[in-house]
């Protein structure tokens, strides 16, 4: 096993140094990607060499392209007339499946023979997905829908050469275990496996033993100054004053784009309604909404020209979602797991752009907030706002 650390990175490395094909390099240039991020610098070469890779790097540090670019290069001459799945990329949510497939399509279309990419996920009709399946080279999938398709014999995975688990710790967590075990059983044992996440421990030997063969483990350490990209402020507040404090923060900081996290769908709806009745345009996204609505609210929120200022959501959108230049995140309620805290705040401070996170902390949350800080090794500056608490 090789362990590569941050110190080994030559900062002047370019995409040309990474032996990617010229079509991909010109597509990178066209899209203003000027130099590879640390995880890209270190993961692309071993993936091109066909090695299994476990890549750990902070939120917003370009993990998607770290696997997408070499994956396309490895598969670019493989596509056949009667297509079977060449690569399977698994992600935890439908919105992330769409986002990653968009990234793959952007680069695949630059190839002489573009690889056909499709995202499959639940909440939408399965028939159109089944009909297109025999034209697909690269399949993006959430576990539930992939299993459904497998059970209907609609997807041919016997030739899968590359398996990627994005948000790997989530994909391998208890919530997905049963489905993922069934999926692993149906995949060929000889394949290249790539795991990526910001919160994967390089010590998870069980995972390494079961899924990876002689992996290259890349753990990009976060230098101190990177953490300061995300300013974290906590406010001590009583539960009944949360709504008014939320609106105060939005107006005080003139927030035009803020992602607000709650812990239940009920609370998401409540906070969203309150914002709208107070004249602050807001949309709600959670697991009980129709898929079309979920995606269109997210798209509206991402669109800098739309009048939607707030998106209120659950941890559904805490993983992987990339909103360009998102300046603000608010934790209206604390997440249960410290890992979720890392992913929530990681929706801002992406691609070297700064961001601010406000967390509302009730007296009951105080202990949990300290646990989160200890576990994440992050310091949240706590403020008292007497006028809101009195
Ligand atoms: P992660 O998966 O590590 O959280 P993403 O892959 O979603 O991060 O990338 C975060 C953002 O950084 C995206 O908007 C992506 O387009 C951008 N990005 C990726 N690679 C580069 C690069 N080499 N240079 C500049 N921006 C990049
Ligand atoms: Mg990601």
Q: What is the mean pLDDT of residues 196-208?
A: 82
For atom 23 of ligand 1, the residue with the nearest CA is 36
Chain segment 213-258, per-residue pLDDT in tens:
999 999 997 766 666 799 999 999 999 999 999 999 999 999 999 9
Angle at the Cα of 18 from the Cα atoms of 13 and 118, rounded to 5 degrees: 125
Fold of 224-389: Rossmann fold (3.40.50)
DSSP lists the bridge partners of residue 236 as: 361, 384
Q: How far is the CA of 121 from the centre of ligand 2 (A)?
A: 17
Give the integer Cα–Cα distance in Å for 335 and 97.
23
CA end-to-end span of the chain, whole Å? 57
Query: Domain-by-domain residue ranges, the chain?
Result: 2-220, 224-389
Question: What pLDDT, on a 0 to 100 scale, did the predictor assign at position 6?
Answer: 46
Angle at the Cα of 360 from the Cα atoms of 355 and 363, rounded to 5 degrees: 150
Quick check: 218 and 55 in contact, CB under 8 A?
yes
Q: What percent of the chain lies above the pLDDT cut of 70?
A: 93
Question: What pLDDT, on a 0 to 100 scale, did the predictor assign at position 11?
Answer: 61
Q: How far is the CA of 64 from the centre of ligand 2 (A)?
A: 5
| pTM of the entire predicted model | 0.94
Q: Which of 13, 62, 101, 195 to mutate to test the pocket of ligand 1 (most atoms within 8 A of CB)?
A: 62
- Shortest-distance atom of ligand 1 to CA 59: 4
Task: For ligand 1, say whether the CB of 58 is within 6 Å of any of its atoms.
Answer: no
| Mean confidence (pLDDT) of the chain | 93
Quick check: 130 and 152 in contact, CB under 8 A?
yes
Q: Which of 12, 25, 36, 64 to mutate to test the pocket of ligand 1 (most atoms within 8 A of CB)?
A: 64
Q: Which helix (H) or strand (E) holds 382?
A: strand 381-384
Same fold, 2-220 and 224-389: yes
Q: 9 versus 344: which is more confidently predicted?
A: 344
Question: What pLDDT, on a 0 to 100 scale, did the predictor assign at position 388?
Answer: 55
Give the integer Cα–Cα distance in Å for 13 and 360.
42
At 7, the pLDDT band (50, 70, 90 cuts) reads: very low
At 206, the pLDDT band (50, 70, 90 cuts) reads: confident
Q: Which helix (H) or strand (E) holds 242?
A: helix 242-252
Question: What pLDDT, on a 0 to 100 scale, did the predictor assign at position 12?
Answer: 73
Question: What pLDDT, on a 0 to 100 scale, did the predictor assign at position 66?
Answer: 98
Give me the CATH code for the 2-220 domain, please: 3.40.50.300
């Amino acid at each position: 096993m090789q362990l590569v650390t941050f110190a080994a990175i030559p900062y002047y490395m370019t995409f040309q140094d990474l032996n990617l094909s010229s079509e991909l390099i010109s597509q990178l240039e066209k899209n203003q990607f000027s130099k590879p991020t640390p995880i890209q610098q270190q993961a692309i070469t071993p993936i091109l060499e066909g090695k299994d890779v476990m890549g750990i790097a902070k939120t917003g540090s370009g993990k998607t392209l770290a696997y997408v670019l070499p994956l396309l290069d490895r598969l670019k001459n493989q596509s056949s007339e009667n297509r079977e799945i060449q690569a399977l990329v698994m992600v935890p949510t439908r919105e992330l499946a769409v986002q990653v497939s968009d990234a793959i399509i952007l680069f695949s279309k630059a190839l002489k023979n573009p690889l056909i990419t499709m995202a499959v996920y639940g909440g939408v009709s399965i028939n159109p997905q089944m009909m297109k399946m025999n034209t697909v080279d690269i399949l993006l999938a959430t576990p539930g829908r992939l299993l459904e398709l497998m059970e209907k014999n609609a997807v041919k995975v016997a030739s899968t050469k590359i398996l990627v688990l994005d948000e790997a710790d989530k994909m391998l967590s208890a919530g997905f275990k049963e489905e993922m075990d069934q999926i692993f059983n149906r995949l060929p044992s000889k394949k290249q496996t790539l795991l990526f996440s910001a919160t994967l421990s390089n010590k998870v030997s069980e995972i390494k033993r079961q899924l990876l063969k002689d992996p290259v483990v890349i753990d990009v350490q976060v230098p101190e100054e990177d953490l300061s990209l995300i300013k974290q402020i906590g406010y001590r507040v009583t539960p009944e004053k949360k709504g008014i404090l939320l609106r105060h923060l939005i107006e005080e900081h003139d927030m035009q784009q803020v992602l607000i996290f709650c812990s239940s769908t009920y609370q998401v709806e409540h906070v969203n309604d309150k914002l709208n009745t107070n004249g602050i345009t807001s949309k709600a996204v959670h697991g009980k909404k129709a898929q079309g609505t979920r995606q269109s609210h997210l798209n509206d929120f991402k669109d800098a020209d739309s009048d939607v200022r707030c998106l209120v959501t659950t941890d559904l959108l805490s993983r992987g979602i990339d909103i360009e230049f998102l300046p603000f995140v608010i934790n209206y309620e604390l997440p249960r797991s410290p890992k979720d805290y890392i992913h929530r705040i990681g929706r801002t401070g992406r691609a070297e752009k700064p961001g601010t996170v406000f967390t509302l902390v009730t007296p009951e949350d105080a202990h949990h907030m300290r646990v989160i800080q200890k576990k994440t090794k992050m310091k949240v500056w706590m403020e008292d706002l007497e006028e809101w608490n009195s």
